[in-house]
Amino acid sequence: MFLKAACLRSAEAKTGCVHTILSPSGAGDSVNLLSRKAPVTETTQQARAPQTWRLTLAYDGTDFHGWQVQPDKPTVQGELQAALGRIAGETPLPQGSGRTDAGVHALAQVASFPLMAPIPAENLQRALNRTLPAAIRILEARVEPDGFHARHSARAKTYEYRIFRGEICPPFLARYVYACPWPLSVLALHEAASGFVGEHDFLSFAATDPDVTARTNVSEDRDDPDDRRGTVRTVFSSAWEEQATAAGRVLVYRVRGNGFLHHMVRNLVGTMLDAGRGHIDPKSIAEILEARSRSAAGPTAPARGLFLHSVEYD
- Residues serving a catalytic function are 101
DSSP code of residue 13: G
On the 0-12 / 13-18 / 19+ scale of CB atoms within 10 A, 61 is: buried
Q: What is the DSSP string of 280-306?
A: S-GGGHHHHHHHT-GGGS-PPPPGGGE
Q: Helices 264-276 and 186-194, interaxial angle, to 10°? A: 140
DSSP code of residue 2: B
Helices (H), the chain: 76-88, 121-131, 186-194, 264-276, 285-291
Decide if 106 contacts 59 (C-beta within 8 A): yes
Decide if 256 contacts 308 (C-beta within 8 A): no
In 3D space, the residue among 5, 31, 30 whose CA is nearest the CA of residue 20 turns out to be 5
DSSP code of residue 231: T
DSSP code of residue 172: T
The amino acid that residue 237 corresponds to is S
On the 0-12 / 13-18 / 19+ scale of CB atoms within 10 A, 130 is: exposed
